[in-house]
Amino acid sequence: MEDIHEIFTQFKSEFPQVYAKHERLGREIHENSGSLPEKLRWLIKIAISGARNHERALETHVRKARAAGATDEEIKHTLLLLISTTGFPCFMKAYSVFKSIRSS
């Protein structure tokens, strides 16, 4: 997947060794540290990035969840779960990120 945020491209260029180690750790945790199916792992990451108001991560996780087979309905359900745990404003912020990339 190509970088969707210019700042991440700049980070990789400026700190290639840090990026490589970060990437290896993320891949090890995501792919080799448990039995959750890939689509579910991305849906969980959507919930985490949405709850933490990490808009760039949320955008990336939505795209990767779709690539792993998640439907928009599954993504919306994941985001709706934020309402009772992190509050309606947090949900609305995450939902607006989702809506901004929905047709992209």
Question: 77-96, pLDDT tens digit by residue?
Answer: 999 999 999 999 999 999 99
The whole domain housing 46 covers 36-104
Cβ neighbours of 45 (radius 10 Å)? 20
Amino acid at 88: F
Same-domain check for residues 51 and 2: no
The mean per-residue pLDDT over the stretch 26-39 comes to: 93
Amino acid at 39: K
Same-domain check for residues 15 and 41: no
Same-domain check for residues 57 and 104: yes
Q: Is the pLDDT of residue 104 over 60?
A: no
Same-domain check for residues 29 and 41: no
Same-domain check for residues 59 and 14: no
CA distances from 40 to 8, 58, 64 (A): 25, 15, 11
Q: Please give the tally of structural domains in the chain.
A: 2
Same-domain check for residues 27 and 40: no
Give which of 5, 81, 8 is closest to 43, Cα–Cα.
81
Alpha helices (H) in 5-87, listed in sequence order: 6-14, 16-32, 38-51, 55-67, 72-86
Same-domain check for residues 59 and 91: yes
Same-domain check for residues 98 and 74: yes
Query: In the structure, what pLDDT confidence band is assigned to residue 57 with cuts at 50, 70 and 90?
Result: very high
Same-domain check for residues 80 and 48: yes
Q: Which residue has the tokens 């849906």?
A: 43
At 49, phi and psi to the nearest 5?
-65, -35
List the CATH number of the domain containing 42.
1.20.1290.10
Amino acid at 43: L
Query: In the structure, what pLDDT confidence band is assigned to residue 102 with cuts at 50, 70 and 90?
Result: low
